């Protein structure tokens, strides 16, 4: 499989090249040269396949022979060792729960598959790999948990001091081993600028290989297609799919799965008040805007990184994309009200992100009689107890995977913003 660069389509590389370059040389996004289509036999077997089996078959189409079948099997079985759960909420709607992984958010799918790929590639190389990540919260935990104990790979996570939740901070700072947390006395933008600063100026050929695990890495996008095959095989053809969207990776993956032959009727891109994509879908004009803080904070993105990829899946054609994807957005009041109402109506507890997707689906189904649909719930409500509990008037049970992060010893390196500071740290720690 060949991948090309969206900024400059003449830049072509294989799967490994696309994974390892990522954004590291400021090269922009990679896309597969074509969206691979599994054969008919795959689709007829699909309803009986478990997630790791789907991952192996679909994943192999994306990685080609750059990861041999036995290694791919191991990556998929280890990455997807937790359930995906579908629940029927009423006659017309179902929920796709993507939060049963180790950090209780759907980012586990992408992070764990990517970690498996990095580990495999590091066995093909004598040098250590140092993975740099800037996080505003959730990504850091998913990356830390996915890379913990992976041979040949060290992970350095930068996060803004005092700006992540206690649980999120514990997920980043209590693991130890090959995971180092750097607490930046600044903002998420400072963290991101430091990582970019290092990677764009990094001299390659040193003793270690520096790379990044940011959200637009293609190895995080591809595995997000797998659960849509799993879900749609179980909901039947002609289902509407609503996805809570921030950086628009998850819905791009859904669009890729759709294009590869999966029977989706329509996509709903649901978001919070950061509404640049719904506005684009309405008007054809894409205007990035400053980020606004909301209660669905993992979707607080004013300039979604995967937007160009989403458009590419629809051939960069506004007519096609606006016919296929409905955009909608909801402010905090609507989201809160819906969480309370849905709990009363069905007994189901939504987190703020799932609530956005649920609202998006509801809006679509209400205006399209006779349709049925499924929405993605991307985080466990226990990650947002402070918001959820007052709205439903009861406590939310914390899943076992999160309990251990309620305590633990925090270890972090404090650092002031500035690429030079990070550079010095990397020289002292890794000689690079
Ligand atoms: C990251 C995240 C999203 C947004 O996903 P994108 O792929 O960035 O659109 C939604 N919900 C939760 C809980 C997230 O962590």
- Tokens 């789907």 map to which residue? 54
On whether residue 323 sits in a domain, the answer given is: yes
In the reported structure, the alpha carbon of residue 421 is separated from the centroid of ligand 1 by a whole-number distance in angstroms of 30
Paired residues of 325 in beta bridges: 267
Residue 233 CA to ligand 1 center (angstroms) comes to 23
C-alpha closest to that of 266 among 276, 277, 251: 251
Q: Looking at ligand 1, which atom is closest to the CA of residue 252?
A: 7
pTM equals: 0.94
CA of 213 to the centre of ligand 1 (A): 15
CATH number at 284 reads 3.40.50.1100
Return the best residue to mutate from 101, 137, 250, 360 for the ligand 1 pocket (most ligand atoms within 8 A of CB).
250
- Establish if 141 belongs to a structural domain: no
Instruction: Classify residue 284: in a domain, yes or no.
Output: yes
Q: Is residue 309 part of a domain?
A: yes
State how far Cα 379 lies from the chain centre: 11
Contact 268, 239 (CB under 8 A): no
User: Range of 370's domain?
Assistant: 83-105+221-398
Give the full edge-to-edge strand order of the sheet including 128-134. Answer: 208-212, 128-134, 153-160, 179-184, 413-415
Tens digit of each residue's pLDDT (9 = 90 or more) over 6-23: 988 888 999 999 988 765
Q: Report if residue 299 sits inside a domain.
A: yes
Cβ(244) – ligand 1 distance below 6 Å: yes
pLDDT at 24: 47
- How many distinct structural domains can be found in the chain? 1
Pocket of ligand 1 contains residue 250 by CB under 6 Å: yes
Nearest residue to 221 (alpha-carbon basis) of 241, 244, 243, 248: 248
122, 154 Cβ separation under 8 angstroms:
no
Weakest mean pLDDT among 76-90, 323-337, 406-420: 406-420
Over range 197-216, report the average pLDDT.
Answer: 75
Lowest-confidence region among 212-221, 336-345, 385-394, 418-427: 212-221
180 assigned to some structural domain: no
105 Cβ inside 6 Å of ligand 1: yes
Helix/strand number for the chain, H first, E second: 19, 14
CA–centroid distance, 251 to ligand 1, in Å, is 10
| Sheet containing 93-97: order of strands | 85-88, 93-97, 372-377, 239-244, 264-271, 325-329
Whether the per-residue pLDDT at 93 is higher than 50: the answer is yes
First to last CA, the chain: 32
Q: Is residue 194 part of a domain?
A: no
327 vs 313: CA distance, rounded Å: 16
Q: What is the pLDDT of residue 205?
A: 52
- Indicate if the pLDDT at residue 317 is higher than 50: yes
Ligand 1 centroid, distance to 313 Cα (angstroms): 19
Residue 207's contacts (CB-CB under 8 Å, 6 or more residues apart) are 127, 128, 430, 431, 432
Is the Cβ atom of 378 under 6 angstroms away from ligand 1?
Answer: yes
Mean pLDDT of 143-171: 91
Ligand 1 geometric centre to CA of 244 (Å): 7
Dist. CA 247 → ligand 1 center (Å): 7
pLDDT reported for residue 236: 72
Query: Which residue's CA is the nearest one to ligand 1's atom 14?
Result: 298
Quick: pLDDT tens for 111-135: 999 999 999 998 888 888 899 999 8
The predicted model gives 283-295 an average pLDDT of: 92
- 140 occurs within a structural domain: no
Q: 141 CA to middle of ligand 1, Å?
A: 13
Alpha carbons within 13 angstroms on the beta-carbon side of residue 380 total 21
Task: Note whether 62 and 72 are within 8 A (CB).
Answer: no
Ligand 1 pocket test: pick from 252, 299, 377 the residue with the most ligand atoms within 8 Å of its Cβ.
299
| Helix or strand run (H / E) with residue 267 | strand 264-271
Catalogue the long-range contacts made by 276-281 (C-beta closer than 8 Å, 24 or more residues apart).
276/302, 276/303, 276/304, 276/307, 277/245, 277/248, 277/304, 277/307, 277/310, 277/327, 278/327, 278/328, 278/329, 279/327, 280/307, 280/327, 281/321, 281/322, 281/325, 281/326, 281/327
Average pLDDT over residues 379-398: 95
């Amino acid at each position: 499989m060949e991948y090309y660069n969206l900024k400059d389509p003449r830049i072509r590389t294989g799967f490994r090249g696309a994974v390892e370059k990522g954004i590291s040389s400021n090269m922009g996004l990679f896309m597969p040269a074509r969206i691979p289509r599994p054969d008919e036999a795959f689709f007829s077997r699909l309803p009986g396949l478990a997630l790791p089996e789907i991952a192996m078959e679909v994943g192999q189409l994306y990685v080609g022979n750059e990861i041999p079948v036995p290694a791919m099997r191991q990556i998929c079985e280890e990455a997807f060792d937790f359930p995906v759960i579908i629940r029927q909420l009423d006659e017309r709607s179902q929920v796709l729960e993507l939060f049963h992984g180790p950090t209780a958010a759907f980012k586990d799918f992408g992070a764990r598959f990517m970690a498996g790929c990095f580990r495999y590639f590091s066995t093909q190389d004598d040098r250590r790999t140092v993975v740099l990540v800037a996080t505003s919260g959730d990504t850091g935990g998913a990356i830390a948990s996915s890379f913990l104990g992976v041979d040949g790979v060290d992970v350095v996570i930068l996060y803004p001091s005092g700006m992540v939740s206690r649980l999120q901070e514990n997920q980043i700072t209590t693991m130890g081993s090959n995971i180092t947390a750097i607490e930046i006395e600044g903002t998420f933008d400072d963290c991101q600028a430091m990582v970019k600063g290092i990677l764009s100026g990094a001299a390659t050929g040193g003793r270690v290989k520096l790379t990044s695990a940011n959200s637009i890495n293609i190895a995080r996008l591809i595995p997000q297609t797998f659960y849509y095959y799993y879900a749609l095989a179980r909901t039947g053809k002609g289902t509407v799919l609503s996805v809570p969207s921030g950086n628009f990776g998850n819905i791009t993956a859904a669009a890729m799965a759709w294009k590869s032959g999966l029977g989706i009727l329509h996509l709903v891109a649901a978001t919070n008040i950061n509404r640049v994509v719904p506005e684009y879908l309405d008007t054809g004009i894409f205007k990035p805007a400053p980020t606004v803080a909301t209660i669905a904070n993992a979707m607080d993105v004013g300039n979604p990184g995967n937007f160009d990829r989403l458009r590419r899946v629809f051939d960069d054609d506004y007519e096609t994309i606006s016919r296929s994807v409905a955009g909608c957005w909801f402010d905090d009041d609507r989201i809160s009200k819906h969480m309370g109402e849905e709990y009363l109506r069905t007994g189901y507890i939504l987190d703020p992100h799932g609530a956005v997707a649920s609202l998006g689906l509801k809006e679509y189904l209400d205006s399209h009689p006779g349709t049925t649909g499924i929405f993605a719930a991307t985080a466990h409500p226990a990650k947002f107890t402070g918001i959820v509990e007052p709205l439903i008037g009861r406590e939310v049970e914390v899943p076992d995977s999160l309990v251990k992060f309620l305590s633990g010893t925090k270890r972090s390196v404090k650092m002031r913003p500035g690429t030079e500071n990070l550079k010095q740290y990397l020289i002292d720690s890794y000689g690079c």
